[in-house]
Amino acid sequence: MSKLIKKTALVGGGVIGGGWAARLVLNGVDVKVFDPSDTAERTLKEMLANAELAYSKLTMAPLVKQGNIEFVDSIEKAVKNVQFIQESVPENPDFKRSIINEIAQFAPESALICSSTSGIKPTSLQTKMRHPERFMVGHPFNPVYLLPLVEICGGEKTSDAAKQSAAEFYRNIGMKPLILRKEIDAFIADRLQEAVWREGLWLIRDDVATTEELDDAIRYGFGLRWAQMGLFETYRVAGGEAGMRHFISQFGPTLSWPWTKLTDVPELNEELIEKIVTQSDAQSGMHSIRELERIRDDNLVAIMQGLKLHDWGAGALLKEYEERLYEKAHSGIVASDPDFSEPLRLHDSQVRPDWLDYNGHMTESRYLQVFGDTTDAFLNFIGMDENYRKQGFSVYTVETHIRHVCEVAGGEPLSVKSQLLGFDEKRFRIVHEMFHPPTGDVLATAEHMLLHVNTNKGKACPFGKILYEKLAEIWNEHQNLDIPDYAGKGFQELNKN
């Protein structure tokens, strides 16, 4: 079911609801939003703008066409005819319960309903709702559009099938679903965060450290380890060659030492609150919230991109997400029965803000990226998918010639048509023509020669049957097309062989 989910509703459009909206829209999912606040639409659109900027840096994979976002004035209008609802209203159990009951009253019976609550047990929220088996907690982390973890916690009446469907949907939009084995207050991650938070309150109250010093201890120390390895794997490494058993034997006895005050809680009185607020203002008051969000997003993108280089943790998840983006970008663009009597329209894109140079035009490297994405789409179309590559074969670009014809401004749409210029048993030559869909103006062209390679041996080899037959099918028609006057002579030499 979740693979088909394209219509969703968000009830509550604050920091968390807005983050959900951004992640869904940027993954091609249509969203209807209900939030009675007068500022909800403005702040949500500001958050979406930040998310678009973050995604432009997060991945080079072609993003899917954005979903539509619609603001409505009632819960009934929001949840009607949708397949998935995410509730993100304030953490008041009675208020949440009434909102969830109203959602369930008007939502289709088959729609999944998830709450973003950070600590309330789902059993207490589903007691009087219609069809409680499709309700659960889907607890995200801010910013929702970047941080991949979502904790799924079902209540006593939640079906396993509903939890699995929700997990699959979250996974398809680039998240890491963690299904809890047992229902518990505050779930897993927030219980860990709460422990650090409580100890931090004592350290501030007792003037051991300021808010900035506590944050420094985390971000320059164990926070970096946690970001890529978590808690227990980090401690396993700390145990040396003997591993976790040695770590526990060495440091386990310290648990009985009076290091922590976690068994006690400081009174959050006005004096302590004022101390925290004053220190926090001194630490970060020079930045607006929007500026801090962008700084945070840039840092998270950099960490995830760094981890991706090593195929580790959140970076490995990002890599999988990018592969799905490429698959989506390369599928469904060409009709199932394409007309090979014309060049193939394989790739559509848009000039992102970070693609611009100091003149406000698309920089040279991005032309190559768009043409490279088009070549990838062509390779996928002729059958060079992941399964083909797993057999130890790929196609490498060995020659490229790009012509820059017109300037391209930010936000402008791009489309590319591709024409096969010739092929033999190991090579093919192709030309791409980038154009501006509203006007039809040619913006740039690129000619490439590609070589089929046995990746295990690092040597050229004949095309596999599926690729060769598809190239032959395309060439049967494309050989009748006019050769562009700017095309190089290489295709003529190729066709002589």
- Inter-CA distances, 255 with 237, 251, 428, Å: 19, 8, 66
223 is in an annotated binding site: no
- 372-406 per-position pLDDT tens digit: 999 999 999 999 988 899 999 999 999 999 999 99
What top-level class would CATH report for the domain 331-496? alpha beta
Quote the pLDDT of residue 1. Answer: 43
- 92-102 per-position pLDDT tens digit: 999 999 999 99
- 49-65 per-position pLDDT tens digit: 999 989 988 988 888 88
- 65-98 per-position pLDDT tens digit: 899 999 999 999 999 999 999 999 999 999 999 9
Q: Which among 273, 278, 293 is positioned nearest to 52, based on CA atoms?
A: 293
19 is in an annotated binding site: no
25 is in an annotated binding site: no
Quote the pLDDT of residue 247. Answer: 72
Start-end of CATH 3.10.129.10 domains in the chain: 331-496
15 is in an annotated binding site: yes
Start-end of CATH 1.10.1040.10 domains in the chain: 192-286
226 and 167 Cβ atoms separated by less than 8 Å? no
17 is in an annotated binding site: yes
Spatial neighbors of 129 by CB under 8 A, at least 6 apart, are 100, 101, 103, 104, 113, 135
Q: Which fold has domain 2-187?
A: Rossmann fold (3.40.50)
Q: Which among 9, 29, 19 is positioned nearest to 54, based on CA atoms?
A: 19
- 272-298 per-position pLDDT tens digit: 888 888 898 888 888 888 888 888 898
Indicate if the pLDDT at residue 333 is higher than 60: no
Superfamily of domain 192-286: N-(1-d-carboxylethyl)-l-norvaline Dehydrogenase; domain 2 (1.10.1040.10)
Spatial neighbors of 126 by CB under 8 A, at least 6 apart, are 100, 132, 135, 155, 156, 157, 158
Start-end of CATH 3.40.50.720 domains in the chain: 2-187
DSSP count for the chain of H helices, then E strands: 18, 14
Residues 290-297: contacts with CB under 8 Å, at least 24 apart: 290/46, 290/50, 293/47, 293/50, 293/143, 294/50, 294/53, 294/54, 296/143, 297/50, 297/51, 297/53, 297/54, 297/143, 297/146
Indicate if the pLDDT at residue 327 is higher than 80: no
